[in-house]
Amino acid sequence: MTAATAAPPAVDTQSMTGSQVVLKALVEQGVEVIFGYPGGAVLPIYDAIFQQDKLRHILVRHEQAAVHAAEGYARSTGKVGCVLVTSGPGATNTVTGLTDALMDSVPIVCLTGQVPTHMIGNDAFQEADTVGITRPCTKHNYLVKDPEDLARSVHEAFHVARSGRPGPVVVDLPKDILMKPAPYQGKDAARRRTYQPARDPDPRRIEEAVELMTRAERPIFYVGGGVINAGPRACELLAELVRETGYPITLTLMGLGAYPASDKQFVGMLGMHGTYEANMAMHGADVMINIGARFDDRVTGRLDGFSPGSRKIHVDIDPSSINKNVAVDVPVIGDAEPTLEALLAAWRRRSNSLALGRTAAWWEQIADWQARKSLRFRQGTDSIKPQYAIQRLHQLTRDRDVYITTEVGQHQMWAAQHFPFDKPFHWMTSGGLGTMGYGFPAAMGVQVAHPEALVIDIAGESSWLMNMQEMSTCMQYRLPVKSFILNNSYMGMVRQWQDFFHGNRHAESYMDSLPDFVKLAEAFGAVGLRAEKPSEVDDLIKEMIKVKQPVIADIVVDRTENVYPMIPGGAAHNEIKLSPEDDGAHEAISEKGMVLV
């Protein structure tokens, strides 16, 4: 459904087309790369892209992957990720990615084509109610029906996406608006009066928080992705505050990297598959300092058994995150950076009155918990343990600039447990939505942003297959993404839950007829590698690093391995199971817990 192409419009601000206005706005917003897929409704923008050289377009093979790639780009750079797709199916295919970005607070601007304004509502070819469909899965969205509104809408979309709690924003662009002349306005032209998220915390709350902190005997920092979203400076301030207090810190899945994992004050990730010491410390704490985490159900377990004895401080930029799941004692609304700055300053003003050794008993208790070595596993000589493969991957890549993405499932939890991060922005995973198929396109986006880095998708074979078409994109743009597939021929996490809660009945969780991943790689023109024995793992990893091309590494792992520790659904932190031998690990789940996912 292409309209007759108009003569190439002059690049004069006086007589720009809507498409040119959109591109100029993107450039002014600092966009360098856009992930997209063309179609009838967005042909005018593609035509304008063809005639310029400021924006680089990466042609994906499926629109869902465009959003995940933009997420990987955004999460590894701190910039807004940008997506361009056509109307109808192009737009609907982005819904999973947009929801993923909303749940994990990733700044995305997604431009969708739309049928011409006079055809909207007529069930036109490739028409969908994009703003209606994406309203609940975006932070905000726009349908531009007047060329006058075009530049302002695009600029505002970027402002909304990156400010406050970041998130995805859709701008729906009817084809006629893209082709008509449109005026250009700079990004500072007109700000709307609504939507002014607060950045600076209330000083009274800071004093209350520090008052609680200074008296704590069993404190714990519980830190999430909000600190990473607040930027590198926020992470530095966090490290300063944690070190000056000497308190233990645990990180959420989304927060990994916000504080160096190698530091002795770090007690590991918390939550359903977190370490024993992190969960027990949360349970036994008297003061909890939550910065940029949202008391997710994967973290809290059973709410009435969640950290029952603690006074809770909660720092969040989103007021609706506070008191949502867990009632807190000191709510602090603000961006993590100025808030940490204020906390640190207030802490330093009081530090003279500190009684040394106040937390010594607490640290002894934590050391006892750590001695349980809850992440232990036994690597024999026959089959490869997935944990072992990840540990070797970490050991053999530790001198490099390495970025890790994951899919969703058992491998994701093992990666979180066994691949430590000392820096933020190097770990990309789908935490909130749990999107299988996220990791590979996200890795592609990371590689676009960091062409020289080593980018690895730690994957399960089932998840990886969900967006494997992107091998073709990697080949086209010479993106040497490594797919490190821990292949157990099962949807491992589904099988684990069937083992635990459904009497070992493996309904539809076995993947028969999997492809030969080595041949699959070769079919795309990439490199395929396989390891079947523990002794082959190191060689595979070394070869994978050496190859300057996309690699599919098929690591055939133990099919029966399960993720431990585990807090079963409906259980509290202190009801954590450490191993299959742990008493009643399979019976632990309550009837109420069965309904939880």
**Per the structure block, which two tokens stand in for 450?**
């960091």
308/525 with CB nearer another protein: 308
Contact, 165 vs 333, CB < 8 A?
Answer: no
Backbone angles phi, psi at 338, to 5 degrees: -60, -30
Nearest alpha carbon to residue 511 among 405, 581, 401, 436: 436
Active-site residue, 126 included: yes
Active-site residue, 306 included: no
For residue 188, state whether it binds another protein (rule: CB under 8 A).
no
Site residues for another protein, 246-305, by CB under 8 A, read 297, 302-304
State the Cα torsion 8-11-17-22 to the nearest 10°. Answer: 120
Place of tokens 């999997």: 514
43/322 with CB nearer another protein: 322
Q: Considering only 277-285, 322-330, 435-443, 505-513, which stretch makes contact with another protein by CB under 8 A?
A: 322-330
Nearest-angstrom CA–CA distance, 118 and 17: 18
Active-site residue, 493 included: yes
Catalytic residue of the set 125, 217, 587, 592: 125
14/320 with CB nearer another protein: 320
Report the 10 Å Cβ neighbour count for 58.
Answer: 21
For residue 194, state whether it binds another protein (rule: CB under 8 A).
yes
Nearest-angstrom CA–CA distance, 74 and 80: 5
Catalytic residue of the set 63, 156, 407, 461: 63
Catalytic residue of the set 272, 428, 493, 566: 493
As a whole number of Å, the CA-based R_g of the chain is 25
Nearest-angstrom CA–CA distance, 84 and 97: 13
Place of tokens 């990473």: 228
In whole angstroms, the minimum distance from the beta carbon of 325 to another protein comes to 6
For residue 325, state whether it binds another protein (rule: CB under 8 A).
yes
Site residues for another protein, 102-161, by CB under 8 A, read 131-132, 135-136, 139-141, 143, 145, 160
For residue 226, state whether it binds another protein (rule: CB under 8 A).
no
Nearest-angstrom CA–CA distance, 345 and 210: 10
Contact, 457 vs 484, CB < 8 A?
Answer: yes
160/529 with CB nearer another protein: 160
Among 11, 327, 367, 371, binds another protein (CB under 8 A): 327
For residue 205, state whether it binds another protein (rule: CB under 8 A).
no
**Per the structure block, which two tokens stand in for 72?**
């990987």
Nearest-angstrom CA–CA distance, 418 and 416: 6
Q: Considering only 17-25, 185-193, 268-276, 507-515, which stretch makes contact with another protein by CB under 8 A?
A: 185-193
Catalytic residue of the set 126, 365, 469, 549: 126
The total number of residues written for the chain in this structure? 597
134/359 with CB nearer another protein: 134
54/135 with CB nearer another protein: 135
Please identify every residue annotated as catalytic: 63, 125-126, 175, 493
Task: Provide the binding-site residues for another protein, judged by CB under 8 A.
Answer: 131-132, 135-136, 139-141, 143, 145, 160, 191-196, 297, 302-304, 318-320, 322-325, 327, 570, 592, 595-597
